[in-house]
C-alpha cells in the first residue's frame, strides 16, 4: 500500500513538472518587452509640441521630429526635410521635404501640413510670434517656400531645427495628450506633469526602432535619481550632479558615465549703474573660474566667454586672475583697507549685493564668490531667491546677478548675443549699452558668411569682457549615466532636447 502511495506521489509530481514545462515544449516563451526607463527632471501638462517649452520634451520622448536637426558637431543636418536653399536676395528659403516621411498613423508628411504646423507655432508660442509675419507658399506636395521680411541666415537653426517646431498631424489625435507625430515613438500613456510612456512607432519612416517602449519617470530630486539608478529602477538619465558623478565613477562596472562639453553657461552680470569701472574690473580680476570648476567636481569647465573655446565664435580672451591688480583697481578708485582688512571709501565699506537662485550650482558659486571677494577685501551680501526671472532679473536690484542659460542652442552665436547684449535685451537694466556693439549685433543678424559671423561674435563678446559688464564662469558639461548596455540616449549630443531615437537600445 505504501509503495502504491509513493508511486502515486511520484506520478503526480512528474505530471506537475511536465505541466510546468508544457509551454516550453509547445513553443518558445514570449520574449519580454524591451522597455527603457529614463528619469527626467521636468514634466509638463501637455504634449503639444508647439506650446511653451513642451516641444523640448516631446523631442526627448522621441515623439516629434523637426525639419532639420543639430548634429553632435553642432552642424545642421536634414531630418524631415532633405534640403533648404536660399534665393539670391537671401529672403526666400525653398524647403524640400523627404518624400518617405510619414506620421505614425501612416499619413505622409506634406508641404501643406508642415506649413500649417509652422504657422501654428507663430500663433500659439510667444517666443516665436515673428513666424506669423513670414509668407509660406506651397510649390508641390514636398516643396514649399518661406519668405522673411529681412535676411535671416539662421532660420534653420533658430526655427526649423528648434524643438518647438516639431511636426504633428494637426488633423488627428489629441494634441495635448496623444499627438500623432513622426518620431520613432508614439504616446502610450501620458500623466500631465508626471510619468510619460511611449511605445514603438511601427510605421517609423526612418529606420527600425530597436526598443519596444520607453518610460520617462518624473524625478525632480537629484538624490531620488541617484537612488533609483542604484536600485536599478531606472536605466539612465542626464544632468548628473557632482556628488552622484563621484559615486558612479567609483563603480564603472555597473554604470556607464559619459561627459561631453555642452553649452549651458553659468555667468554673472555686473550692474554698471551701481558699480564703478574700477570695482567691476576688480571683481573680474578676482573671480577664479578654475577654482570654481574644481569645487563643482568636473560638472563644469571654466569659461572665457559664453561659447566653448572649440567653436570658431568662442575665440575671445580675458585677463588672468590677479588679486594684486584687483586691489590696485580698488585703490585707484579711492578705496582704502580698514582695520578688518576690508576696503572702504569715506567710512563706507565696499559691499556688493550678489543675487542668485538655487539651481545649476549657482548657490554654491555664490558661496565660493563670497570667499574669493572677501580674500581681497570686498564684502558680500548674498541674496538667494527661488526664481530670478520674477525677482532681480526684472527689478535690476543687484550689483552682481548670477544666472544660467543655454548660450548656444543651435551652433550659432546670435541667440545668446541678441538676448544678452542688446540695449533692450534681457539684462539691459544692468546698464550695458554700447552703440558699436549694437551695430555689430545688427550686422551679425543679417550676415550669411559663417566666418564673418564668427568674427563679429568674437568682437561683440570681447567688448563685453573689456567693459567688465559680464563675467563668464563656467560651461556645464553634459553628464549622462546609464546601465552599461544602454546606448544612444543622447549622451553624445551637447543638447538636452535630444534623447531617445530609433537606435536607442538596452
Partner 1 sequence: MDILVDKSPRKGAKTRLTLFLILAGILVVLSVIAPKLAPNDPYEISSANINAAPSAQYPMGTDRLGRCVFSRVLMGARTSIFSAVALVAITFVIGSLLGMASGWYGGIVDTLIMRFADILLAFPQMVLAIAVAGILGGGMFNAMLAMGITGWTIYARLARAQVLALKREAFVDAARLSGCSSLAIMFRTLLPNMLGPMIVNASIQIGSMMVGIAGLSFLGIGINEPQAEWGSMINNSRAYIQLAPWAVLGPAIATIITVMIFNYLGDCVRDVMDVEAGE
Contact positions vs partner 1 (CB under 8 A): 222-223, 226, 241-244, 246-247, 291, 294-295, 297, 358, 363-364, 366-368, 370-371, 382-386
Measure the CA–CA gap between 287 and 283, rounded to whole angstroms: 6
SS3 state at 349: strand
Q: Shortest approach of partner 1 to residue 343 CB, angstroms? A: 19
CB closer to partner 1 out of 368 and 461: 368
CB closer to partner 1 out of 223 and 442: 223
Q: Do 480 and 257 touch, CB atoms closer than 8 A?
A: yes
Q: Shortest approach of partner 1 to residue 319 CB, angstroms? A: 22
Q: Shortest approach of partner 1 to residue 384 CB, angstroms? A: 5
Q: Shortest approach of partner 1 to residue 257 CB, angstroms? A: 15
In this structure, the number of other CB atoms found within 10 A of the CB of residue 506 comes to 19
Distance of CA 329 to the CA centre of its chain: 38
Q: Shortest approach of partner 1 to residue 377 CB, angstroms? A: 16
Q: Shortest approach of partner 1 to residue 385 CB, angstroms? A: 6
CB closer to partner 1 out of 246 and 338: 246
CB closer to partner 1 out of 290 and 451: 290
Residue 26 grid coordinates: 509547445
CB closer to partner 1 out of 364 and 492: 364
CB closer to partner 1 out of 112 and 223: 223
Q: Shortest approach of partner 1 to residue 204 CB, angstroms? A: 39
Residue 111 grid coordinates: 508641404
Q: Shortest approach of partner 1 to residue 241 CB, angstroms? A: 6
CB closer to partner 1 out of 214 and 226: 226
Give the residue from 80, 93, 96, 65 showing the smallest Cα distance to 162. Answer: 65
Measure the CA–CA gap between 104 and 179, rounded to whole angstroms: 10
What residue ranges in 119-275 does DSSP mark as E strands? 135-140, 143-147, 168-174, 178-181, 185-190, 196-200, 213-218, 236-238, 256-270
Radius of gyration of the chain (CA): 28
Measure the CA–CA gap between 70 and 409, rounded to whole angstroms: 9
Look at the alpha carbons of 409, 412, 415, 421 in this order and tell me if their dihedral is positive or negative: positive
Q: Shortest approach of partner 1 to residue 400 CB, angstroms? A: 16
In this structure, the number of other CB atoms found within 10 A of the CB of residue 208 comes to 10
Measure the CA–CA gap between 245 and 241, rounded to whole angstroms: 6
CB closer to partner 1 out of 234 and 457: 234
Pairing type for strands 351-357 and 400-406 reads parallel
Residue 351 grid coordinates: 559691499
CB closer to partner 1 out of 229 and 469: 229
Give the residue from 178, 55, 182, 200 showing the smallest Cα distance to 108. Answer: 182
Measure the CA–CA gap between 106 and 180, rounded to whole angstroms: 10
Give the phi and the psi of residue 218 in degrees, each rounded to 5: -80, 115
Q: Do 444 and 453 touch, CB atoms closer than 8 A?
A: yes
CB closer to partner 1 out of 229 and 269: 229
Mapping DSSP onto H, E and C, the string for 3-52 reads HHHHHHHHHHHHHHHHHHCHHHHHCCCCCCCCEEEEEECCCCCCCCCCCC
Q: Shortest approach of partner 1 to residue 265 CB, angstroms? A: 22
Amino acid at each position: 500500500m505504501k509503495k502504491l502511495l509513493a508511486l502515486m506521489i511520484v506520478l503526480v509530481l512528474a505530471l506537475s513538472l511536465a505541466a510546468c514545462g508544457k509551454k516550453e515544449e509547445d513553443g518558445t516563451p514570449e520574449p519580454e518587452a524591451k522597455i527603457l526607463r529614463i528619469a527626467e527632471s521636468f514634466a509638463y501638462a501637455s504634449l503639444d509640441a508647439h506650446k511653451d517649452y513642451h516641444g523640448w520634451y516631446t523631442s526627448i520622448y522621441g515623439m516629434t521630429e523637426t525639419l532639420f536637426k543639430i548634429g553632435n558637431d553642432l552642424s545642421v543636418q536634414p531630418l524631415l526635410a532633405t534640403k533648404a536653399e536660399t534665393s539670391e536676395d537671401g529672403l526666400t528659403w525653398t524647403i524640400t521635404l523627404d518624400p518617405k516621411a510619414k506620421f505614425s498613423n501612416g499619413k505622409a508628411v506634406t508641404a501643406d501640413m508642415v506649413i500649417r504646423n509652422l504657422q501654428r507655432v507663430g500663433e500659439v508660442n510667444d517666443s516665436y510670434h515673428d513666424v506669423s509675419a513670414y509668407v509660406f507658399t506651397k510649390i508641390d506636395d514636398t516643396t514649399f517656400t518661406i519668405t522673411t521680411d529681412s535676411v535671416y541666415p539662421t532660420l534653420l537653426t533658430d526655427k526649423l531645427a528648434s524643438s518647438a517646431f516639431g511636426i504633428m498631424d494637426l488633423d488627428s489625435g489629441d494634441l495635448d495628450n496623444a499627438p500623432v507625430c513622426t518620431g520613432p515613438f508614439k504616446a502610450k500613456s501620458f500623466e500631465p506633469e508626471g510619468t510619460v510612456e511611449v511605445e514603438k512607432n511601427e510605421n517609423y519612416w526612418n529606420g527600425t526602432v530597436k526598443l519596444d517602449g520607453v518610460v520617462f519617470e518624473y524625478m525632480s530630486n537629484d538624490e531620488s535619481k541617484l537612488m533609483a539608478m542604484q536600485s536599478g529602477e531606472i536605466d539612465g538619465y542626464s544632468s548628473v550632479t557632482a556628488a552622484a558623478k563621484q559615486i558612479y565613477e567609483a563603480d564603472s562596472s555597473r554604470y556607464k558615465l559619459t561627459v561631453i562639453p555642452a553649452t549651458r553657461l553659468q555667468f554673472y552680470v555686473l550692474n554698471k549703474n551701481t558699480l564703478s569701472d574700477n570695482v567691476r574690473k576688480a571683481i573680474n580680476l578676482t573671480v577664479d573660474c578654475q577654482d570654481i570648476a574644481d569645487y563643482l567636481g568636473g560638472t563644469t569647465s571654466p569659461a572665457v566667454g559664453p561659447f566653448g573655446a572649440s567653436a570658431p565664435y568662442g575665440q575671445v580672451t580675458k585677463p588672468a586672475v590677479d588679486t594684486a591688480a584687483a586691489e590696485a583697481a580698488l585703490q585707484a578708485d579711492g578705496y582704502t583697507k580698514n582695520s578688518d582688512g576690508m576696503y572702504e571709501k569715506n567710512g563706507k565699506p565696499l559691499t556688493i549685493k550678489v543675487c542668485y537662485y538655487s539651481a545649476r550650482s549657482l548657490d554654491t558659486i555664490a558661496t565660493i564668490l563670497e570667499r574669493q571677494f572677501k580674500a581681497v577685501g570686498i564684502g558680500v551680501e548674498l541674496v538667494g531667491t527661488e526664481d530670478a526671472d520674477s525677482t532681480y532679473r526684472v527689478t535690476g536690484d543687484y550689483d552682481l546677478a548670477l544666472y544660467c542659460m543655454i548660450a548656444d542652442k543651435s551652433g550659432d552665436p546670435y541667440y545668446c548675443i541678441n538676448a544678452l547684449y542688446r540695449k533692450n535685451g534681457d539684462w539691459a537694466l544692468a546698464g550695458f549699452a554700447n552703440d558699436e556693439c549694437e551695430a555689430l549685433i545688427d550686422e551679425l543678424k543679417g550676415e550669411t558668411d559663417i566666418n564673418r559671423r564668427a568674427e563679429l561674435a568674437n568682437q561683440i563678446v570681447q567688448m563685453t569682457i573689456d567693459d567688465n559688464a559680464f563675467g563668464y564662469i563656467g560651461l556645464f558639461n553634459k553628464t549622462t549615466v546609464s546601465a552599461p548596455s544602454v546606448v544612444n540616449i543622447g549622451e553624445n549630443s551637447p543638447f538636452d532636447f535630444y534623447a531617445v531615437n530609433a537606435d536607442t537600445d538596452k
